[in-house]
Structure 1
Amino acid sequence: MTNDKNLVVSTDGSALSNPNGPMGWAWADHEGGDADAGGASNGTNQIGELCAVLQALRAHPGERPLVIETDSQYAINCSTTWVPGWKKKGWKNSQGKPVKNRPLIEAIDQEIQARPGSVRFVWVKGHAGDTFNEKVDTLARGYATAAGKGEREGCLPIEGWRSLLASPYAKGTQVPSAVKAELDGGPQVLDKLGRKKVGLDQEEQKDLAETAVEAESMEATFPQSPKTRDIEESQTTVTDPGDEAINGTPDPDIADGQEDELAPAFKDTSDTDTADQETKNSGARGLRASGRVRITPPPSGSSMFTGQDLHIVGSIDIDADIDPDGYLTIQESPFRLHAIEVED
């Protein structure tokens, strides 16, 4: 007899000093306590997010309806909204460039199409007290931290390795020798879950959680170092990657709503639900704003700044007097950063 009750699983990806820093992924069931995590010595947050979704799908086959909760709009869109457009265009984006992380996205699509039971994605606000979102974040960061220290071997599905090694952010990645052999056409060493064992036992979950907490305490010890976890490869602006953004609005997800690497206060503070963003846009009543605005602190104030121009997508909260000619003066208005990309 089929259990028609939803099986709910949370997923998350994490990247430290992204891009090209230690990366992790994790999923956790909302019942039974089952969880799994992996990562690599180098990677990006978006690869981590996609690995988490793929591993969750593969670990939960069958007819039971599956609900995947994630704080990544990118992962949701890659798994649903953007895939049909990419297929029609031969896996090219709206700029005619190859879709990033294609091996992972194709694998996710294949798993969803082949699964007898339905699959539904639900966006949750990251780092807002959701028990299972916090759990997968902790597991993913814990594995990323351990992998970066060489305390844990890289653990990704084979599609994750292919996506990572094809990216510009794989420099210095420690790839297990057996995985290298499989990537070179040798015998298969990875099972469907990217490893030879299934899941993490309770002791391993505790160990990764302690590793993540230890890393957090180290960050707090050195406040002059900006937290750079959970940001994405070149921070691709996803206004039209697939080629339709949800409800016609840009993806507000730099990664999972965490600090970017430009400067401590130059960060994503949105975590904006797309529906909320659509409501704000619909209330614009044709109003437009023009002029020069300075965002502080500037990108040049970051130790991670490379000298390249950046393109940003965001919004400014304004509470100010406007004169009859339409001019107003902005004073320290909050800026919500939705996405970043490095200009070529």
Structure 2
Amino acid sequence: MVYTMEIYTDGGCRGNGRSWAIGAAAAAFKNRNGNYVEAWTRSLPSYPAPTNQRAELTGIIIALEQALERYHELDSDPYLDITIYSDSKYAVNCMTTWIKKWLRNGWTNAAGYEVANRDLIEEAFDLGDRLKREGDVNYVWIPREKNEYADELCNEDMDQQ
């Protein structure tokens, strides 16, 4: 049996790069009918300073955490087929392409510096690895207009901050 999960993620930051910045991340599950059935948001901590990139990666972390939780709640042990959708090319590339190079290079980027947001990338990578023991985890970039619900969730969270 295959258990399929489709999760849409987003992250946002107001005041990106400024000391007073706020950020939020969201993840939302879609069912087979294409309806959103569950959603989660998280406000970013003030330290390290919120950025758009940290928010997008946090959205992926929320998705992976919730996928693991959902898997552990199942009565059976199905093969997982998880697709995480993000409108952030940066976040998708971190999880699919760049991480392999960074692991080989000791977390050093092409310019010779430590990889930015390493803490979040490592956390997401570890969560993804745990899920990959149970099946497939794929990251797919989508245009922003196909991610409106997750974007709304982030904005609502930041409005409340």
Q: Which structure 1 segments of 5+ residues have no match?
A: 148-344
Q: Tell me what 1:117 maps to.
A: 135
Q: Tell me what 1:38 maps to.
A: 42
Q: Tell me what 1:135 maps to.
A: 149
Q: Confirm or deny: 8 A CA contact 2:25 2:44 kept in the other structure.
A: no
SS state at 1:99 partner: coil
Q: Compare the two structures and name the one with the higher strand fraction.
A: 2
SS state at 1:10 partner: strand
TM-score normalized by the length of structure 1: 0.39
Task: Output the CA distance in 2 between the equivalents of 1:105 and 1:27.
Answer: 17
Task: Output the CA distance in 1 between the equivalents of 2:8 and 2:61.
Answer: 12
Matched to 2:156, the amino acid is G
Task: Output the CA distance in 2 between the equivalents of 1:24 and 1:106.
Answer: 19
Quick one: percent identity of the two aligned structures?
30
Q: Confirm or deny: 8 A CA contact 1:40 1:144 kept in the other structure.
A: no
Q: Tell me what 1:9 maps to.
A: 7
Task: Output the CA distance in 1 between the equivalents of 2:24 and 2:63.
Answer: 14
Matched to 1:66, the amino acid is I
Q: Confirm or deny: 8 A CA contact 1:41 1:144 kept in the other structure.
A: no
Q: Which structure 2 segments of 5+ residues have no match?
A: 72-78
1:19 to 17, 20, 29: 17
Task: Output the CA distance in 2 between the equivalents of 1:105 and 1:40.
Answer: 15
Aligned residues: 141
**Deviating 4+ runs (over 6 angstroms):** none
SS state at 1:80 partner: helix
| Higher gyration radius (CA) | 1
Matched to 1:40, the amino acid is L
Q: CA deviation at 1:15?
A: 0.6
Q: Could you say what the CA RMSD is over the residues aligned between the two structures, in angstroms? A: 1.5
Task: Output the CA distance in 2 between the equivalents of 1:97 and 1:71.
Answer: 26
Q: CA deviation at 1:83?
A: 0.7
Q: CA deviation at 1:41?
A: 6.3
TM-score normalized by the length of structure 2: 0.82
Q: Confirm or deny: 8 A CA contact 1:22 1:145 kept in the other structure.
A: no
Q: Tell me what 1:54 maps to.
A: 61
Q: Confirm or deny: 8 A CA contact 1:25 1:38 kept in the other structure.
A: yes
- Cα deviation code 1:29-68 (max 9, x no counterpart): 1126100001136411110100010110011023421101
Structure possessing the higher relative contact order (Cα contacts under 8 Å, 6 or more residues apart): 2
Q: CA deviation at 1:122?
A: 1.4
